[in-house]
Amino acid sequence: MNRFKNFSTKLMEILDPKDIEIDSLMKNHTSFKIGGPVDILVNPESFEEVVEVVKLCKKDSVPCYIIGNGTNLLVKDGGIRGVVVKLSKLDKIKLQGTKIIAESGALLKDVSDFALENSLTGFEFACGIPGSIGGAVTMNAGAYNGEISYVIESAKIIDGDGNIKVLSKEDLELGYRISSILKYGYTVLEVTFNLEKGEYSKIKERIDDLSARRTEKQPLEYASAGSTFKRPEGYFAAKLIEDSGLKGVSIGDAQVSEKHSGFIINKGNATAQDILDLIKIVQTKVNEKFGVELSTEVRIIGEDI
């Protein structure tokens, strides 16, 4: 039973009714294509709306979860109680000299394309990362010898009390898949990147090369949340998993990818429980064989059925 359904009437004082969804299935909002219903999902169209929704949820003690493009997220089969704030409509990207200012819902690929169009170099590494700017800053996303910390100048955020603040690069405390955003539960609204002028042809060549390598090595034809596990210090998760004989192992439609064993994929109708059970098997086998504990990179939220 949706005990927060009546809360939607209060949200209508802040948001356009078309931006409020009741009992929306989270499988329609995540790259894993998995997840039960959320009581209320909202799609704010401005920073002010985000702030007001966060404040209202806090005031009324309604659980509130912020998501971007849902690319690093596994929602359990029982769904989510409370409100999910989806920031995908906050996707504006603008140029200021050699700086790019992008709202949190903008996709990394779109920002990479925008940098290319303006002959700015430094953001090529992100061309194939399937996430939004907000999530990328939160996790200090990186690939192919590049990461967000190398190019970020500052981020506009909302703190736990609904106040808007600007955090410098130092304030963001960016490390391997960690940041002050994650540490303190902040919400990213907008990010400023400081890039350099480059040659269009060389930037495009780099993007084309990275895109081809990603297509060749990663199971992009299947639903997933990207790399399932963090890289353990001194090791590569995918190699540990493969050397444990786990490549291709399945539970239902959840499978350790045969193309890249660092990915657990949804081959069609996997449940969250299938994914979670497979994650457990991988963690147990790798620990037994190598004495290494694998931590999940994917964010897991929601309730069991």
Nearest partner of 20 among 47, 40, 2, judged by Cα: 40
Pair (43, 75) in one structural domain: yes
pLDDT at 145: 87
Does the annotation mark 227 as catalytic? yes
Pair (73, 134) in one structural domain: no
Does the annotation mark 299 as catalytic? no
Local confidence band at 130 (pLDDT 50, 70, 90 cut-offs): confident
Average per-residue pLDDT for the chain: 95
CB under 8 Å to 170, separation ≥6 — which residues? none
Q: What CATH number does residue 45 fall under?
A: 3.30.43.10
How many domains does the chain fold into?
3
pLDDT at 176: 87
Do the bridges between strand 250-251 and strand 187-194 make them parallel or antiparallel, or are there none, so unpaired?
unpaired
pLDDT exceeding 70 applies to what percent of the chain? 100
In which order are the strands placed within the sheet that holds 223-224? 223-224, 264-266, 254-256, 250-251
Instruction: Return left, alpha or beta for 122; rule: phi > 0 is left, psi -120 to 50 is alpha, else beta.
Output: left
Pair (262, 208) in one structural domain: no
pLDDT at 157: 97
196, 217, 238 - which closes a domain: 217
Instruction: Return left, alpha or beta for 280; rule: phi > 0 is left, psi -120 to 50 is alpha, else beta.
Output: alpha
pLDDT at 146: 92
pLDDT at 1: 64
Residue 50 above 70 pLDDT?
yes
Q: Which of 49, 177, 179, 180 is catalytic?
A: 177
Pair (68, 141) in one structural domain: no
38, 58, 86 - which closes a domain: 86
Give residue 105's domain range.
93-217
Pair (158, 240) in one structural domain: no
Residue 2 above 90 pLDDT?
no
Q: Tens digit of pLDDT for each residue in 86-117? A: 999 999 999 999 999 999 999 999 999 999 99
Nearest partner of 281 among 241, 252, 243, judged by Cα: 241
Local confidence band at 143 (pLDDT 50, 70, 90 cut-offs): confident
Q: Tens digit of pLDDT for each residue in 176-210? A: 888 999 999 999 999 999 999 999 999 999 999 99
Pair (105, 174) in one structural domain: yes
Does the annotation mark 297 as catalytic? yes
Pair (263, 157) in one structural domain: no
Q: What average pLDDT does the segment 231-248 reach? A: 96
Q: Which of 180, 227, 244, 257 is catalytic?
A: 227
Pair (141, 43) in one structural domain: no
Q: What average pLDDT does the segment 16-39 reach? A: 97
Local confidence band at 8 (pLDDT 50, 70, 90 cut-offs): very high
Q: Tens digit of pLDDT for each residue in 10-27? A: 999 999 999 999 999 999
CB 194 within 8 A of CB 99: yes
Q: Which of 52, 153, 173, 297 is catalytic?
A: 297
Q: Tokens 């927060």 appear where?
A: 4
pLDDT at 144: 87
182, 217, 252 - which closes a domain: 217
Q: What CATH number does residue 227 fall under?
A: 3.90.78.10
Nearest partner of 177 among 123, 133, 231, judged by Cα: 231
